Structure 1
Amino acid sequence: MSDKYLTLSELNLEGKLLGFVGGESGKYKYLQLSIPSGNVEIKLSKDLRRSLSSSLVPGQQIRVCGYSKLDSRTSEIKIKAYQVTPVDGCQNQGLSPQTKPRIMVCQKGGCLKRGGKGLLSELEKTLCDRGLLDKVTIEHTSCQKCCGSAPNCVLQLGKKKYKNIHPEAIASLLESHLTE
């Protein structure tokens, strides 16, 4: 029995990001890219989906590294990305842009019933008192699949994630992270 898809080759595409499609907000499955030969739709690997929709904006020049596959039944070529990076006109391309720290607070029923609203307001008050509210992005999320430890709150500093920590601890971590 043969595989439905045959891997053709690895590729690097550079073009203008037209937008994201498929899936819910923040978890888009595809990006649309305008290249000289036309527009292409590129599937995103699962680990790229969440991070890209918040860090890239339509109209931005990007480089996509991926591979192409041929559907042996329909003869259609599909492209899947494993790396997407912005293309800057500057010489410091080796440096990635500093993204704002993110705090993701679950706003679904279980977490709200177990103090999610209070956690969110205490968090906003603590960050405001320390002058950190404008230096962080607070996102209201759907279920984070950790209902046993509700209310759920995740602090993301770069690639590090801190789960279920008190607002005072979040503020302290943010202060130390932002002064580095």
Structure 2
Amino acid sequence: MGDNYRTLSEFNLKGEFVAFVGDKLEKAKYLQLITQTGEIKLKLPKILRKYAASFLAPGKQINVFGVTKLNLTTGKTKLKVYGIKPTETCPKQSSEAKSKPKILVCQKPGCRKRGSNNILPELEKILRERGLYDKVAIEHTGCLKCCSSPNCILKLGKKEYRKIQPEVIATMLEKHLS
């Protein structure tokens, strides 16, 4: 996006998929979503277009997440999508809220060079010191789309926290588990 854009924040939208928008159905560039605040049209990156077309049907509940960017020249904001997840509506959802908190740590080579291999031992040490190590699941993953340090995600129930330091993760876990 060049130097004209500045990242403002991350977003996570829940809503009902309406349709794909584009010249041809197989080359649809946009996704229409109805949320509580209204209807939104989001541009899908090329890599997600085929994936989304494989499982989305009108009326399906989904989560769309990404980054909000500000164009410094025009002052307009842009929603850049980097993931889509179907929202489960079965009873399985209530059991997920009671599951162990998860910490996802990226192990892709680029992130390891930026420090994910240093974060993991530090995180495990802090969790052991505070007696939280057995109460959390730590998963080694591929790209999490947060390629800056620290490159890990904390999942507490349905909420996700990105780009937080190991000390903050431990403090949040203590509050969540108490």
Normalising by the residue count of structure 1, what TM-score does the alignment of the two structures yield? Answer: 0.47
Indicate the structure (1 or 2) with the bigger Cα radius of gyration. Answer: 1
